[in-house]
Amino acid sequence: MPEDRYDARIAAAYDAWMADQFRPEVVSATVDFLSEYADDGRALEFAVGTGRIALPLSRRGVDVSGIELSPAMVEQLRAKHGSEAIDVTIGDMATTRVGGTFMLVYLVFNTIMNLQTQDEQVACFQNAADHLEPGGHFVIEVIVPALQRLPLGETLVAFDASDGHAGVDRYDVVNQTLVSRHYFVGDGEVLQEDSPHRYAYPAEYDLMAKMAGLSLVGRWADWQREPFTATSPSHVSVWVKP
């Protein structure tokens, strides 16, 4: 079972810390994309969190369920209007099963990287496939490792320096891991939060999907379906269960 790093303190501040991801244009583009693949069927979000995507997708008329490791994050979700429509199971997205099957299983905002071993990520793809109906789709949104920005022998890449937040990724290229160090500034104090991750390139995710019996049907740079290129910092990838 992966470690639950989202305690009550982090969960209470999560929406404010991740305000950029809650911008209407970001949420709307994500929900537009996912609702197409839900195709009037049920959707399952791995790592549903505080409901940033699950709630607006539910308001579109999609029957959404979720799996979430952190009870504190679910508590924040339950405080929001409309959350009663979302059935949430506490557990690990790599192994936890919920009832029934789904037309869509999805993971957003780099959450696949919270699984810190290859075995866990492989199990996550298999778990997604096991939950899908034939013809259903598995969708992930995740960064492309920024190794092209690393000078030889260096390990640090800054990824944000906005008001109230600074972030640096420390890469371990031997073990294919990184630690994102966040500094949050507010109310006269600075909070530091380290978040460990395992990164992979798209080709490795495709192999995980193939092992789970899924086939790639599309990959884009973002939710607006901009072309994925060699310089894209992230990708949205979609696999189908035959």
Taking 70 as the threshold, does the pLDDT of residue 1 lie above it?
no
- pLDDT value for 45: 98
* pLDDT category of residue 184 using cuts at 50, 70 and 90: confident
Percentage of residues in the chain with pLDDT exceeding 90?
79
Instruction: Let me know if 148 is exposed, middle or buried by CB neighbors in 10 A (0-12, 13-18, 19+).
Output: exposed
Q: Nearest CA to 104 among 58, 44, 31?
A: 44
- pLDDT value for 4: 66
The mean pLDDT of the chain is 94
Question: Is residue 92 a contact partner of residue 174, using CB atoms and an 8 Å limit?
Answer: no
pTM as predicted: 0.92
* pLDDT category of residue 10 using cuts at 50, 70 and 90: confident
